[in-house]
Structure 1
Amino acid sequence: MTFAILNGKLINRSEAKVDIEDRGYQFGDGVYEVIRVYNGKMFTAKEHLERFVKSSDSIGISFPSTQEQLKSLLEKLIHKNKLQLGIIYMQLTRGVAPRNHAFPSEEVMPALTAYTKEIARPVENMKNGVKTILTEDIRWLRCDIKSLNLLGNLLAKQKATEEGGYEAIQHRAENITEGSSSNIFIVKNGVVITHESDNLILKGITKDVILKVCFENNIPVEERAFTLEELAGADEVFLSSTVSEVMPIVQIGDKKVTEGLPGPITRKLQELFEQEIENHCGNL
């Protein structure tokens, strides 16, 4: 039997049902979070849960429990499902109410769901690097909220998939923002450059770990917008996300990044990131 969380309770996943008038289903009126699990332990759980709560606060959904209560419940879910390597997906919607654009009354309780999924580490892609494409960023102006409204991201990812790419690198006019489901980095003359964590991108938890290990290992970093021209002239390019970790980008469209091989700083950051995982979750 596989278990899921529905409104604070562990239940048989096959019994976890969403009402047709749940506002997440009807409007995308909710937020979500994904936490990586290694060796049966959550990685950076505190940071993910803090972002989950911040996202819900940003759209006026009252979080139905404390972070510690939810963390404890997620640990039970991992144990019950015997998950060793994978993810926890969780989402919070404004709840079930008759369809109306305006928010329902305060008596309507938010709906919290969560489940686990086995997902292997993308070892081959991390070793060899991946191809990406460029696409215009057509999303709304609050990308810092991890909301259920992902249509712009989906269209970008689908375009990448149709063109044989792993990810779509998005840009607003001349400035790179982020991937459809990742943060984007370039390396130039030994300096790691990535977009600042403002409203135009999601503040990545993996990104923050990368910035931390850069600081601890004297790798220079600039958090700022960078341009399409800078991307084209970068020495190295890589992306980061909960599932992809530190992923080298070796081709953008038809153009290879330098020699089409992962660069030395990207390799170093992969090693440092793995050390962070092992420090918190045990050997990989």
Structure 2
Amino acid sequence: MAERLYHVDGELRPRSEATVSVEDRGFRYGDGAFETMRAYGGAVFEWAAHVDRLEATCEAIGLDHGLSRGDLRERIDETLAANDLLDAYVRLSITRGVQPGKLTPGPAVDPTVVVVAKPLPRGGLSGEAIWADDGPAALETVRTRRVPDEAIPAGAKTHNYLNGILARRELHDADEALVRDGEGYVAEGATSNVFFVTGEGVRTPTTDGPVLPGITRRVVMELAEEAEIPIEEGYYEPAAIREAEEVFLTNTTWEVRPVRTVDGIDREVGPVTELLARLYDERVETACY
């Protein structure tokens, strides 16, 4: 099998040679932005939303990389083509690059830009979820709390993922961590947004709290509104999740993943979750295939 090719600083390089400097600020300090995307049938799903969020992250951390949207998209397309990939995981990373070894960043930026692409199953109506072999998720409330927005902007998708790593390390027989904010309200998963279903409709934690505004989260909320399913954002305690009729998680790679247990309490994969998952597949099919 041919070695996979990654895009590093404007060049396609074999995976074994795709490296960055040990003096890169992304390595030293987590000083960088990234987006995880999915390509379906060779098309990057929700590209505009992803690049909008990438720009917002760069603005939040003061990273003026000077690259156009067209340039970034071209690097992604070149990576997919070079690896002969139509259905893939794509990660685009931009760091502040190599600078003198001090915490304060310099104003001049020579960014490090890396695109990684890996094969995934086909999506849409004929596809299979990447979590299918593992089944619905087990969700577990952890002690680790979400970093306050006043400390690190919740909407910034940076290379510093220590908060999520610590949350995942607490798990005992579970797939995803249920992370609360400083007040004890549910925020999100370590790498996912959380939804639950009650007799009144679909509920999800508000992005007024320290919650990353997920792209898949937004699409699912749009689909719920189009299907005339009542949806509400708010502040919820873990008990609301444990007592819900249905629970599911969303992120770019999982798409819509039902939850089978919450803190050891069994949950059914119910009709609302199944409907929204099907509607999501239909959206992907229409947009990309």
* TM-score, length of structure 2 as denominator length: 0.90
**2: CA distance, partners of 1:175 / 1:138:** 10
1:24 counterpart = 2:35: no
- Aligned 1:53-72 pairs, distance under 5 A: 53-72=55-74
**2: CA distance, partners of 1:99 / 1:63:** 19
The list of structure 1 runs, each at least 4 consecutive aligned residues, that deviate by more than 6 angstroms after superposition, is: none
- Aligned 1:148-163 pairs, distance under 5 A: 148-160=159-171, 163=172
Are 1:248 and 1:262, in contact at CA under 8 Å, matched by a contact in 2? yes
RMSD: 1.7
CA gap 1:208/1:144 in 2 versus in 1, 3 angstroms? same
Query: Which residue, 122, 133, 143 being the options, matches 2:130?
Result: 122
Query: Which residue, 243, 262, 266 being the options, matches 1:252?
Result: 262
Q: Percent of aligned pairs with the same residue?
A: 28
**2: CA distance, partners of 1:139 / 1:7:** 33
**2: CA distance, partners of 1:80 / 1:57:** 31
Are 1:204 and 1:241, in contact at CA under 8 Å, matched by a contact in 2? yes
How far 1:16 moved relative to its partner?
Answer: 2.2
**2: CA distance, partners of 1:119 / 1:165:** 23
Structure 1 unpaired stretches of 5+: none
3-state DSSP class of the match of 1:115?
strand
**2: CA distance, partners of 1:92 / 1:148:** 9
Are 1:49 and 1:67, in contact at CA under 8 Å, matched by a contact in 2? yes
How far 1:174 moved relative to its partner?
Answer: 2.9
Q: Tell me which residue corresponds to 1:164.
A: 173
**1: CA distance, partners of 2:185 / 2:138:** 20
Q: Tell me which residue corresponds to 2:139.
A: 132
How far 1:75 moved relative to its partner?
Answer: 1.2
The aligned length equals 275
- Aligned 1:1-284 pairs, distance under 5 A: 1-106=3-108, 108-120=109-121, 121-122=129-130, 124=132, 128-141=135-148, 142-160=153-171, 163-172=172-181, 173-198=183-208, 200-257=210-267, 261-282=268-289
Structure 2 unpaired stretches of 5+: 122-128
Q: Tell me which residue corresponds to 2:125.
A: none
3-state DSSP class of the match of 2:145?
coil
Q: Deviations over 1:114-158 (max 9, x none)?
A: 1111234325268x5221111134342222110111111012123
* TM-score, length of structure 1 as denominator length: 0.91
Amino acid at match of 1:209: V
